Structures are given as C-alpha cells and as structure tokens.
Amino acid sequence: MEFIGIDVHKRESQVCILAAGGEVGPYRVPWADLLKHVFGVDVLCCAACGGRMKVLAFVQERTAVRRILEHLGLDATCPRLERARGPPEPTFEW
C-alpha cells in the first residue's frame, strides 16, 4: 500500500491515511509490530514451534491478574517504585 497524504481534518480529531487506491483508514500500527521494530522481538511468534500466536484475552483487573499469576506459580508482586533521580551534577576540572 502506498501512502499519498494525511488528512487531519476529520471529525473526532482522528488522523487518517489516504492510500493510493483511494481508501481512507485510521493510521494505526499494531502493538506487536511496534515491539518487533523497537526491540527486535516478535512477541507473536511461538518459541516452541515458530508459528503465529494471537491474543485471546487482555486482562486488566488487578485481582484477576494476581490470581492468574499465582495459579501459574509466577511472582504476582509489583516491583517497588523508586523516586526519580535528577540529572547528574556536572563536574568541572578547573
């Protein structure tokens, strides 16, 4: 698909891509493609057989996530958040 322009004057402030074929659709890169591009890891590739996997569920409820992790024998505790550090102090050699 070849892109020829971007239409930013859509209702709902949605950026859309105008394709060479005349189709208009929302510009969206799938999260798995972004992770593959940034980290070089295909998160949807099965480590055992190399086949493609797909997401069956996306669990966000904290108690459900904790129960699932504990059932699988995985650590369900969150890491402790530390305060952000400031930038290092400059050192001058006079």
**Tell me, what's the pLDDT at 78?**
84
Residue 24: beta bridge partners? Answer: 18
Q: Would you say residue 85 has pLDDT above 70?
A: yes
- Higher-pLDDT residue of 94 and 24 is 94
Whether residue 52 contacts residue 46, with contact meaning beta carbons closer than 8 Å, is answered with yes
3-state secondary structure 27-45: CCCCHHHHHHHHHCCCCCE
What is the percent of the chain where pLDDT is above 90?
Answer: 13
User: What is residue 72's predicted lDDT score, i.e. its pLDDT?
Assistant: 92
pTM: 0.43
Torsion angle, CA of 46/51/52/53, rounded to 10 degrees? -50
Note the pLDDT tens digit of each residue in 16-42: 555 555 565 566 788 888 888 888 989
What does the block give as tokens for 47? Answer: 């480590």
For residue 80, what pLDDT band results from cuts at 50, 70 and 90? confident
State the DSSP code for 88. P
